[in-house]
Amino acid sequence: MKSTGGAALLAASGGLATPALSQGAAAKTLRFVPQANLANFDPIWGTQYVVRNAAALVWDTLYGVDDSLVPQRQMVEKEEVSADGLVWTFKLRAGMKFHDGTPVLAKDAVQSLVRWSQRDPMGLMLRALQNELVAVDDLTFRWALKKPYPKMLLALGKNNAPCTFIMPARIAETDPFKQITEYIGSGPMKFKKEEWVPGAKAVFERFADYKPRDEAASWLAGGKKMMVDRIEWVIMPDPATASAALQNGEVDWWEQPLPDLVPVLKGNRNISVDIADPLGNIGAFRMNHLHAPFNNVKARRAVLAAMNQEDFMRAVVGDDTKLWKPLPGFFTPDTPLYTESGGEILKMKSLDAAKKLLAESGYAGQPVTCVVAQDQPITKSMGDVTADLLKKMGMTVDFVATDWGTVGARRAQKTPPGQGGWSMFHTWHAGADCLNPAPYTAIRGNGEKAWFGWPDSPETEKYVSSWFDAKDLTEEKAAIAALNKAALEDVIFAPTGFFLSYTAWRKNVTGIVKGPLPFFWGVSKA
């Protein structure tokens, strides 16, 4: 799973405007070009990967999944479960500190879980089962349930957003639907708020009092040992600028290089290029189920009938067919629960069928507000295909070209499209998040509590529950097949295909690990 590489952050849109570093300081500073701008920094309020990735440096979690997707203890020293599975008692590791010097206590974990559980699908499930969640003493807290929840440790250690990032209780008391303004964690790096320039840079500094675990690091688990003192995220929305900066040694690691530029990077003897994560990504065309036209299922099905996933995938990754696959469903290919049940509509590629469904939906020519981030190559590429597709279907397109940070804020709005809301946006989901329904936020159909778009699909939810209740793999597969079919019938969202992404780094950087997010611990720079 490992390949040489590095992780860094700081900013500039066209070359670094930072003072020259001494040779020693340069070796301890990792400069990283993230996938998008860090426009906001609350890992519970939203689910953008760029925020989750930065948050993993600043905040630690109670458990963390390893590279086998097994949750391991992280901030927790030990846990006990009652014989009936109803009472979980957790003891934190002693001696942990927040970045402001205060000790990490059970009350902090409790309040952080209260906030997290109001935004996360697995957290909402736990809230529905909860009798009490209380601190027992300074290092111990208890979560008592009305019904056993066997996926507890996965909920507390999963890597998809929102993760169970632990904050000081006073910060975690913030309404989960409002953003925090203090960024104090107990993770391996401190966030330098005074150096944060959204759209330009974000800076992280090693936390001297961090206590890594003794185990070897593996994804979000184990000893998160920082080999550099400073990480600078350099925001470079222009791929050509980022490519030049990497080749010139101005930056050390580019998270997501444009596929068209990969041949040039591979030709540079100082640069390594590799697939970032073999589990890949699932592209998503996300529709707003609350407002016309996509509040009508026939309008949503019209999109599925018309779309050709190849158009979307070639726009995202180019003509290399090894980098993408058609995906007549929602689950990660080549994994145990993959299914194509109900996926026939995604194989139609028929404008005539789409126009018929659209007419039956009662669509009357109203503008379809497509909110498309231009600073994120993946969403920009898919958005261009979508605008053309909807016009061919006979829809009026209101194309809102914006940035990824604005998309993150706007998609949370439930107001109608003409009043600051939206009709659709594009995103993607890491394949590691789409192996099963437990961490798969985007597959849920629980209405007002669902992810952005707020699909209300009782059939989908029924089979989500069936999967959680499954006693073996055979029952799990049956539940997932039924879930896939129901989610396509109600069009929870439109999958645009499965694709792989590259990552690139200078060869004097070592320790980069393949996975669904950039793991900075263990990364060093000569």
Specify the CATH number for the domain of residue 51. 3.40.190.10
Report the candidate in 72, 81, 139, 146 with the shortest Cα–Cα distance to residue 110: 139
What pLDDT, on a 0 to 100 scale, did the predictor assign at position 24? 67
Whether residues 286 and 388 fall in one domain = yes
Residues 122-143 have a mean pLDDT of 97
Q: Are residues 171 and 291 in the same domain?
A: no
pLDDT in tens, 166-186: 999 999 999 999 999 999 999
pLDDT at 208 over 70: yes
Strand runs labelled E in 298-414: 324-325, 367-373, 396-402
Question: Are both 306 and 238 inside the same structural domain?
Answer: no
297-331 burial: b if 16+ Cβ within 10 Å, else e:
bbbbbbbbbbbbbebbbbbbbbeeeebbebbbbbb
pLDDT category, 457, cuts 50, 70, 90? very high
Last residue of a domain, one of 121, 151, 179: 179
Distance CA 212, CA 7 (A): 19
Residue 478 tokens read as 């049956």
* 475/329 same-domain check: yes
Shared domain check, 78 and 49: no
Helices (H) and strands (E) in the chain, counts: 15, 21
CATH code where residue 486 lies: 3.10.105.10
- Verify that 148 and 87 share a domain, yes or no: yes
Domain boundary among 179, 205, 234: 179
**Shared-domain flag, residues 435 and 303:** yes
pLDDT at 2 over 70: no
Q: Are residues 171 and 197 in the same domain?
A: no
pTM: 0.91
Distance CA 66, CA 59 (A): 17
Handedness of CA 286, 314, 376, 323 (dihedral sign): positive
Domains contained in the chain, number: 3
- pLDDT category of residue 25 using cuts at 50, 70 and 90: confident
Task: Dump pLDDT digits (tens) for 254-274.
Answer: 999 999 999 999 999 999 999
Give the integer Cα–Cα distance in Å for 426 and 348: 21
Task: Answer yes or no: is pLDDT of 365 > 70.
Answer: yes
Mean pLDDT for all residues in the chain:
94
CATH code of 69's domain = 3.90.76.10
Q: Which residue(s) pair with 92 in the sheet?
A: 76
Lookup: tokens for 379? 């969403």
Dist CA 520 CA 56 (whole Å): 9
Residues 217 and 246 occupy one common structural domain: yes
Range of the domain at 81: 60-179
Identify the band that residue 525 occupies on the pLDDT scale cut at 50, 70 and 90.
very high
Q: Which of 54, 63, 52 is nearest to 213 (CA)?
A: 63
For residues 408 and 484, membership in a common domain is answered with yes
Q: Do 151 and 249 fall within a single domain? A: no
- Give yes or no: residues 355 and 484 share one domain: yes
